[in-house]
Amino acid sequence: MFKYNLVNKSVAKDKIILKSKDITFIKKKIKLIYSFSIYNGQSTKFKNNFKKQFNLSLPNISEYSKLDKITVLWIRDNSYFVCSDFNLKKKFEKSVNTFYSLASITDQSGGWASFFIEGSLKKMLLEKMINIDYNKLSEKSVISTSFYGIRCLFVNNLNINKLEVLCPISFSDSIEKKLLNVINFTKAVQSNY
């Protein structure tokens, strides 16, 4: 029933772009992503059904929730991305079928590129990429913003030195270059201190 296309075969597996002692930059393989936009008046039913199907609560505004290999990102009011790897595709298809009367559902798999930035420079990088006060972020935050004119999602966990950046797949090459430029600039600045 659900179909997905790997738009860019180069994202069918992880690709290490840069690795050093204080930063690792990886383009991740395509992941399973479904967007859910809850219909008006269906929020309570949707939340209850979601908890029952995925054993996971929906995240608060600008946050994400995670259980095992399933991550739910808050996108905007009553809209979420549910992400996982393709090993859970059959479980997703079965679970998603229970939501059609409650929400608009779109298979976004293959439509988004995912980059991971790991290491001790994560905080400095995030502050250079987007205008935020890092110390005011929630523990598991999702920031939806424009990065060089392209809508991106920055998924951050304060407890680990890992940042995920999601962008539309059609802009992935451009975002990869922009992220690499910011990383190289930050490393150069850091080495001068």
pLDDT of residue 7: 41
| More confident of the two residues 6 and 87 | 87
pLDDT of residue 8: 43
User: For residue range 163-180, what is the model confidence (pLDDT) as tens digits?
Assistant: 999 999 999 999 999 999
Q: What average pLDDT does this structure show over 175-186?
A: 91
* CATH for 31-109, options being 3.40.50.740, 3.30.70.1520, 3.40.640.10, 3.40.718.10: 3.30.70.1520
Sheet strands side by side (includes 150-157): 15-19, 24-28, 112-118, 162-168, 150-157, 140-147
CATH class of the structural domain 1-30+112-193: alpha beta
For the record, the structure tokens of 57 come out as 């609560």
- pLDDT over threshold 50, residue 94: yes
Q: What is the mean pLDDT of residues 139-143?
A: 90
* Contacting residues for 115 by C-beta, under 8 A, at least 6 apart: 25, 26, 27, 28, 164, 165, 166, 167, 175, 176, 179
pLDDT band for 76, please (50, 70, 90 cuts).
Answer: very high
